[in-house]
Amino acid sequence: MYHPGPPRFTSVGESVELAPRHPDPEATYRWSITDAPAASDAELGDDPVEHLAPDAPGTYTVELETERATHELTVRAFPDERRDVRVSCPRFAFPEELDAVDAVSVVSTFNEWVPGRDHAVREEGAYVFETRLPPGEYDARFLPDHEFAEGVTVPFEVEGPGRPRVHLTGTVDGDAATVEARASANPESELDDGEVDVEFYVDDRDEAALEVEGRRAELDLSGESVRVHAVAVGERYSVADTVTLGADGVTRPNDPPEWVDDAVIYEIFVRQFAGERVDTTFSEIERRLPYLEELGVDCLWLTPVLESPTRHGYHTTDYFDTADDLGSRAEFESLVAACHDRGMKLVFDLVINHSSEDHPYFQMAAAGTPDYRDWYVWADGAAETYFNWERIPNFDYDTLAVRRFLLDVVEEWASVVDGFRCDVAWGVPHGFWKEVRERVKAEDESFLLLDETVPRDPQYHEAEFDMHYDTDFYETLLDVGEGEKSASAVLDGLEAAQRAGFPESARHMRYVENHDEDRYRDRCGRGALKAAAAATLTAPGVPMVYYGQERGMTDYRGPMAWRDGDDALTDFHRSLIELRNEHRVLRRGDLARVEWEAVDGSDDVVAFARETDEERVAVVLNFGATPADVRVEATLGPDLLSGETPEGPVTVDSVRVFPVR
């Protein structure tokens, strides 16, 4: 019951959280290392939640002793991936006199954006920060006197290879089972696919012996279900993949729900959706479902609907009741049912990295109540928060009572909705998300898990999330729309997931704006918005439309523009969604290249193809303010949007979609 789950894969220099599942705050748990590489001096303490920091590459076996049983967990540590890094920020970059700055801290993804944790050193002409980091792109923000708002952001890159990928398939014939791995090197690797190794592991909760030869493993099921995990190993290690083999055949627990590939998501910033003069409630949203149905979307994501003192809802004060101003739980469930009646899914915004400072548990913790003090993370007497989010203190996941409470929250709402969009997913331990996934998928395999991890990280796909914010594609579309990059960068943006090491089974939510970002139209103009929206709706991935995007709104959290919106832009979105819904190739087709050329040499134009065994289409996008003539090296049929048959160069306002004959 308390087994900590699947094997863990990490590298020297990183740590692995170890926690019992189904935690009982009153129970006793003890961790120990029973096997480790000869060069390791790693140790574990006496807490129920521990953090193993491998100090030598190799395989570690850790043991969890509980009152009922003893469980083993395999931890495979690969060589240290980190490189020495030196980042500097010019002293003149700060907006205040340097003599008034007592200290400069540095925040980024590598320290979870916590001000005051890491400090820069003052050198002649600059503040300098040195550390060790894995290869990748980073933004470091230098904070004078730890003030986030006054900080200066310095982008930098740690050079090095990307991650390979692995994909498992299996067969079952009686008690005999076979697992085969398809491994591929990173597109920027110096290795060929054939030079990538594969390591297989049986889940510690199962019993089976593997006979491995190259990329193939055989095992005897003996009537039992067995989970087999594998990692590809090149210059770095991959995200692990998993298959489950049993009497019922083979399943892939890391795969997303089948319906996701066909979905169009619509995000509603809840309290503004009914418009300027009407209070938004669940009932008012339900009354407007015909609009969304006719728009063609089939998955609604609602920003938080639980009790909160804020209009955006991300400061939760009651995790088990809906907000009074939005309506009762019964009215919320009526909205969910109404969505289902129209063939729509409803995704719930799950906010469990932090609570509001007005939550009674934090108030008692801050006042020193012993039973609640350990519910939150404290440093120098103050509650830890990310960025400048001073009113939303972070939960302490090393406390079993916190884990138990938040697992109860997950179970409370998972039975009501069709998925979770998980806020600040990067702030919650990997082990917790792995437990959440197994819990919700055991009850409903079609349940969706979408992570907000900014920037996106492939490690969150390893037995955790189905779909991820595509931060790379968002930034690319923004750069193109603002003229910082050529439109051809769209192709690089679409291929970034493979370079980042995301597995084949990962799905990516593609968007041009959301409730945390400025409106694309406000930054880039109407013409660029049309092209960017068309890109999300015709390219691979799962498109998301932010409420009011289709109405041409420029206020990122303003009242929905029902009366004074852009009707032509709404029709444009509607026609593209309809086209996507009608043509499977636009939902599930592979990305392919097509030769194209702008007649006037414009950098605002790009083209790509989508293809299946049955169909191939060419998509041509124009981010410019005026129409562009484009030559496409293919035999094209009538435009699927306008019905016009091309003759010679095609004129593109924002988007054209042609069948390729």
| From 203, 452, 462, 466, active-site residue | 452
Nearest to 293 by CA among 330, 333, 339: 339
In a 3-state reduction of DSSP, which class is residue 72? Answer: strand
Q: CA dist 180 to 231, 242, 352, 387, Å?
A: 12, 11, 37, 44
Question: Do residues 436 and 410 lie in contact, with contact meaning Cβ atoms separated by under 8 Å?
Answer: yes
- Please report which helix (H) or strand (E) contains residue 197, including its range: strand 197-202
Neighbours of 249 (CB within 10 A): 11
Strand partners for 630: 598, 650
DSSP 209: -
Q: How far apart are CA 12 and CA 15, in angstroms?
A: 8
> 295 exposed, middle or buried (CB, 10 Å; 0-12, 13-18, 19+)?
middle
In a 3-state reduction of DSSP, which class is residue 205? Answer: coil
Whose tokens are 């929206």? That residue is 533
Would residue 452 show up in a list of annotated catalytic residues for this protein?
yes
**Cis amide prior to 20 (ω within 30 degrees):** no
Question: Do residues 81 and 66 lie in contact, with contact meaning Cβ atoms separated by under 8 Å?
Answer: no
E strands of 118-225, at which residues? Answer: 118-119, 121-123, 126-133, 136-144, 152-158, 165-173, 176-184, 197-202, 211-213, 216-220
Q: Establish how many alpha carbons lie within 13 A of residue 323's alpha carbon, considering only the half-sphere containing its beta carbon.
A: 23
| From 235, 423, 435, 466, active-site residue | 423
Number of H-type helices and E-type strands within the chain: 14, 40
What torsion do the CA atoms of 652, 658, 660, 661 make, to the nearest 10 degrees?
-110
> 279 exposed, middle or buried (CB, 10 Å; 0-12, 13-18, 19+)?
exposed
Sheet holding 83-90, edge to edge: 83-90, 126-133, 121-123
Task: Name 526's Cβ contacts closer than 8 Å, sequence gap at least 6.
Answer: 552, 566, 569
Q: How far apart are CA 575 and CA 645, in angstroms?
A: 18
What torsion do the CA atoms of 577, 581, 583, 585 make, to the nearest 10 degrees?
90
Q: How far apart are CA 212 and CA 124, in angstroms?
A: 58
Would residue 423 show up in a list of annotated catalytic residues for this protein?
yes
Whose tokens are 């950098």? That residue is 603
Kindly list the catalytic residues.
Answer: 423, 452
